[in-house]
Each structure stands twice: as structure tokens, then as C-alpha cells.
Amino acid sequence: MKPMTDKELQQRDASRDIGAELLQAVRDVKAGTVGKVNMVDTTMAAQARQRLGLSQSQFSHLLGVSVRTLQDWEQGRREPSGAAKALLRIAAIRPDAVHEAMAG
């Protein structure tokens, strides 16, 4: 297939309704008829923080680690060890228990 010339492109585009095409594209994506689903694996640290509904700053303070350390755990650059790993596991499985402990 040969590339279209500028004149051919202008003729094609002159009859297009870009707004309608965009609206239809959005409808297609929402209906699931087109699009791509990307699954992203999350670390235990990211899951725990998300389940608790805390910011990175809040969660790192709760754990007693720097925000940078938490970011390294969440992005898989470092692995938590010892008590931090146990607390992350509890927070990911039972965020209500962590909230209860924080309140008391």
C-alpha cells in the first residue's frame, strides 16, 4: 500500500467528523469491544498500602521507614525483611486489624 499524498489526505479528512469518531471510540472502549487490558503485578507492600488507603508518606511513617525505602519495596527494587515483611503481610490480608491497632 503506497502512502497517501497530501492532497489525498486533505480530501479524506475534509469529509471526516472527528468529534463523532472520538465519541464512537470512547463508546467502543467503554463497551469493551476494543482496547487492551494490561495486568500489572503489585508487590505485597503496594497491596498493603492500597488496602489501608494510605499515602506513601503515611504508610512509611506507620512502618517507621523512609518513603524511599517504601518506594523501593513497592517497585520491587528491594525486599522487606523481618518485622516489616510480617506487618506488610498482615496489612495486605487484614487491613481492618491494622486500622484497629492504629486507633488504639
Q: Quick one: average pLDDT of 4-9? A: 90
40 confidence band (pLDDT: 50, 70, 90): confident
pLDDT band (50, 70, 90) for residue 29? confident
What's domain 44-103's superfamily in CATH? lambda repressor-like DNA-binding domains (1.10.260.40)
Mean pLDDT of the chain: 90
CA atoms within 13 A on the CB side of 89: 8
pLDDT digits (tens, 9 = 90+) for 60-83: 998 889 999 999 999 999 999 888
Q: Binning pLDDT at 50, 70 and 90, where does residue 55 land?
A: very high
Q: Grid coordinates in use for 4? A: 497517501
Tell which residue, 63, 95, 102, 39, has the closest CA to residue 71: 63
| pLDDT, position 88 | 92
Higher pLDDT pick, 34 / 26: 26
